[in-house]
Amino acid sequence: MAALAAYTIIGLSLGGIFSLAALGIVLIYRTTGVLNFAHGAMGMFSTFVAWQVFYGWSHPFWPGWISTLLAVIAGLVFAALMGLFLEFAIFRWVRTRDPVVKAVITIGVLLALQSAASLIWKNNQYHLPIYLAPQAATFTIADVPIGANNIVVIVAALLLAFGLGAFLRYTSFGRAMRAVSDSPTSASLWGVAVGRVGAVSWMLGSLVAAVAGILITPFINFDTTSLTLLIIDALAAALIGGLVSLPLTVLGGFLLGLLETYPTIWIQSIGFPRLVALLVILAVLVVRNPRGFAVAAK
């Protein structure tokens, strides 16, 4: 029973990360019509920037929390700038193109980012994570010890999801973003700056991906490929939300996290969770009407 509870905690933490990664994908897809296969790679690159600040450039005499804070800020600022750069350098020029063409462009972004990271940080596995909460700190709820970092992930995922939802619902810029996701043409006729909305979506999406990447470091031996390949789990979660709904996406992320974790009680395999993700994707696509996704792109 205690083991099951422990696996549930791991699954929920993993699910929180999937939710965060998927939120960015849904946000970008809704407002710009780009299904971003490079989302994992973007999160990976920002995470490595944070890691570089944390372990490479911070002074040993600084207290730990300053290094952590600086690393997280550096990672997030870099992520926002990268999102802006991608929008201005690439996706601004292909706004009217077919969704498939835009998706293939993100594959180019993925390949370039992945290789650039492996060029800078080599193909080593890094065992030095960025802990946002003290590593050894645990809470005990009903005799089940829960690591503080697990709680940080789950809370961060829920907070960011609700924050993003509130931003889209209650602010005027959020309203503009929803208008663009419904119809860019009529939104621009109503005076919405479509270009600015796209730029902000890319910035926000990239930020959320960086948060997901930084939060996952305590749970895996991270390297350039494993974070890039997080994309498939994020896409599975995003598909559960139909590529439009934020609450369903978050729910899907947590569900997928649990589904991928429980089999590891019996099956010791790196690859098996990926099979779970693929089966979830297939199940969602068979049950839902796939044409719904194509409509959402317009």
| Residues lying near other proteins in the complex (CB under 8 A) | 35, 37, 90, 93-94, 99-101, 103-105, 107-116, 118-119, 225, 229, 231-232, 235-236, 239, 269-272, 274-275, 277-278, 281-282, 285-286, 290, 293-294, 297
- Beta carbons within 10 angstroms of residue 271's beta carbon: 7
Q: What is the dihedral of CA 22, 25, 31, 35, to 10 degrees?
A: -140
The least CB distance from residue 47 to other proteins, in Å, is 18
Nearer to other proteins, 192 or 236 (CB): 236
The least CB distance from residue 103 to other proteins, in Å, is 5
Nearer to other proteins, 66 or 107 (CB): 107
The least CB distance from residue 69 to other proteins, in Å, is 31
The least CB distance from residue 29 to other proteins, in Å, is 9
Q: Identify which of 47, 68, 12, 31 has the alpha carbon closest to the alpha carbon of residue 208.
A: 47
Q: Identify which of 274, 281, 293, 230 has the alpha carbon closest to the alpha carbon of residue 252.
A: 281
Nearer to other proteins, 125 or 135 (CB): 125
Which residue in this structure is represented by tokens 């305590």? 218
The least CB distance from residue 154 to other proteins, in Å, is 25
Q: How far is CA 67 from the centre of its chain?
A: 23
Nearer to other proteins, 100 or 155 (CB): 100
The least CB distance from residue 286 to other proteins, in Å, is 7
| 277 close to 61: Cβ distance less than 8 angstroms | no
- Beta carbons within 10 angstroms of residue 288's beta carbon: 13
H helical segments located in 33-171: 39-51, 64-89, 99-121, 148-170
Nearer to other proteins, 5 or 116 (CB): 116
Nearer to other proteins, 83 or 147 (CB): 83
